[in-house]
């Protein structure tokens, strides 16, 4: 699911066309990929519900497919619930395929350039720790060689984030989305623009079938959409359980959110760390500090500071937050 909605265009002749998915009257998906279909997912739901109870959070009455969410919509839970449904994004990407026009975007450019610098900085510090302070031309080349970084884009949407990462030197690129329409769009754009090396597949992060780990996992709006689902609190717990298995030890998780602030994302990671280890971890602890946080699954590394800010109620904030966490 893309974090950014691109404007319409008249030029779609080069892209593979798909029939428009109805937006109303057919929002409910009963396909075989429904998360609630598997017994394993029922157990994961029970575990998440138990974790919510321990945290004094109120779970939803049932964790189920889009069909159960239809009841919520009929009871007035409306637009916010729709944004958490797979069928909504299937329809959205069908529209985007017809209206797509490629262009740059400030947030995406910022995320990509900032992530690249962060990866280079981490590689440099690892080389220095491994070989001392002696710098060679070979070391400098290795620092800036990003081909060794395996990248996974969760909820890849139109796949443009991976294209931008490819332009900056990343080679091992994989994009997944639970919307088949999104994957068809991303593949079509990648083939059109000459990025056939990017791998795309239909996959649900909450029930992932991926069997490998990645050194860099990107999330641009996926956690936001999960949180908008009627079962958002339970699904967010499942999200962290799954993502922790996808990020390789020593790898990075970079989350861009329009619904959560930096501090809220850090608090959510802190809650996951406590739930996993049973030990309290200070949310402001970072990878640059020597502390007990090294035993926790994730550590805060850095966040983007260049987004435009605004003031409300005497508090300065930003409409977008991008935060990086290190997988221990």
Query: What pLDDT score was predicted for residue 77?
Result: 59
Reading the block at residue 256, the tokens are: 């861009």
Q: What is the pLDDT of residue 32?
A: 45
| Per-residue 3-state assignment (H helix, E strand, C coil) for 185-200 | HHHHHHHHCCCCCCEE
Residue burial 191-221, b: 16+ Cβ < 10 Å; e: rest = eeeebeebebeebbbbbbeeeeebbbbbbbb
Q: Is 177 helix (H, G, I), strand (E, B) or coil?
A: strand
Confidence of residue 279 (pLDDT cuts 50, 70, 90): confident
Q: Answer whether 234's CB lies under 8 Å from 49's CB.
A: yes
Q: What digits encode the pLDDT tens for the residues 209-221?
A: 999 999 999 999 9
- Note the pLDDT of residue 57: 46
**Residue pLDDT, tens place only, 48-74:** 666 655 554 444 433 333 444 444 445
pLDDT digits (tens, 9 = 90+) for 152-198: 999 999 999 999 999 999 999 999 999 999 999 999 999 999 999 99
Task: Decide if pLDDT at 80 tops 70.
Answer: no
Higher pLDDT residue, 149 or 17?
149
Average pLDDT, the chain: 77
pLDDT at 96 over 60: no
- Residue 78, pLDDT > 60, answer yes
Percent of the chain with pLDDT over 90: 49
Contact criterion met (CB below 8 Å) for 186 and 200: yes
Question: How many angstroms separate the CA atoms of 237 and 320, rounded?
Answer: 22
Mean pLDDT of 120-136: 76
User: Which residue has tokens 């997944």?
Assistant: 176
| Dist. CA 114–CA 216, nearest whole Å | 13
How would you class 24 by CB atoms within 10 Å of its CB: exposed for 0-12, middle for 13-18, buried for 19 or more?
exposed
If DSSP codes are grouped into helix, strand and coil, which group holds residue 155?
Answer: coil
Provide the token pair at 35: 């998360």
pLDDT over 60 at 75, yes or no? no
DSSP-assigned beta bridge partners for residue 173: 151
What is the C-alpha to C-alpha distance for residues 175 and 97, in angstroms, rounded to an integer? 17
Kindly state the DSSP code that residue 313 receives in the 8-state scheme: T
Average pLDDT rounded to a whole number, residues 274-282: 79
Q: Return the percentage of the chain with pLDDT > 70, whole number.
A: 60
Give me Rg for the CA atoms of the chain.
20
| Furthest C-alpha separation in the chain | 66
Strands 172-177 and 199-202: parallel
Length of the chain: 328
The beta strand positions in the chain, using DSSP E, are: 150-154, 172-177, 199-202, 214-220, 247-257, 298-303, 309-312, 315-318, 321-327
Kindly indicate the confidence band of residue 304, based on its pLDDT and cuts at 50, 70 and 90: very high
Instruction: Inform me whether the pLDDT recorded for 84 exceeds 90.
Output: no
What residue has token string 């059109």? 192
**Domains of the chain and CATH, by start:** 106-226+242-262+301-327 (3.40.50.150)
Q: How confident is the model at residue 295 (pLDDT cuts 50, 70, 90)?
A: confident
Flag whether pLDDT at 4 surpasses 50: no
pLDDT reported for residue 129:
80
Question: Among 106-115, 268-277, 308-317, whose mean pLDDT is lowest?
Answer: 308-317
What whole-number distance in Å separates Cα of residue 273 and Cα of residue 255? 16
């Amino acid at each position: 699911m893309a974090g950014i909605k691109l404007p319409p265009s008249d030029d779609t002749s080069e892209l593979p066309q798909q029939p428009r998915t109805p937006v109303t009257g057919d929002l409910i998906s009963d396909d075989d990929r429904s998360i609630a279909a598997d017994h394993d997912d029922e157990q994961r739901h029970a575990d998440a519900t138990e974790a919510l109870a321990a945290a004094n959070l109120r779970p939803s009455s049932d964790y189920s497919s889009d069909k159960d969410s239809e009841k919520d919509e009929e009871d007035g839970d409306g637009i916010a619930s729709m944004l958490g449904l797979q069928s909504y994004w299937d329809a959205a990407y069908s529209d985007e395929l017809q209206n797509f026009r490629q262009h740059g975007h400030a947030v995406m450019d910022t995320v990509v350039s900032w992530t690249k610098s962060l990866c280079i900085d981490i590689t440099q510090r690892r080389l220095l720790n491994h070989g001392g302070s002696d710098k060679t031309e070979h070391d400098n080349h290795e620092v800036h060689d990003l081909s060794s970084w395996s990248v996974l884009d969760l909820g890849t949407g139109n796949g443009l984030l991976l294209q931008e990462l490819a332009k900056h030197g990343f080679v091992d690129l994989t994009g997944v989305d639970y919307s088949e329409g999104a994957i068809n769009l991303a593949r079509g754009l990648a083939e059109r623009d000459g990025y056939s090396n990017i791998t795309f597949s239909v996959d649900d992060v909450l029930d992932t079938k991926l069997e490998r780990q990645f050194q860099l996992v990107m999330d641009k709006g996926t956690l936001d959409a999960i949180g908008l689902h009627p079962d958002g609190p339970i699904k967010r717990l499942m999200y962290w359980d799954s993502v922790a298995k996808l990020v390789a030890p020593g790898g990075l998780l970079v989350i861009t959110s329009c619904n959560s602030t930096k501090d809220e994302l850090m608090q959510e990671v802190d809650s996951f760390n406590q739930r996993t280890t049973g030990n309290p971890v200070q949310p402001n602890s970072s990878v640059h500090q020597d502390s007990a946080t090294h035993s926790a699954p994730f550590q805060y590394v850095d966040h983007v500071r260049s987004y435009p800010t605004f003031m409300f109620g005497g508090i300065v904030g930003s409409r977008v937050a991008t935060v990086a966490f290190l997988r221990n």
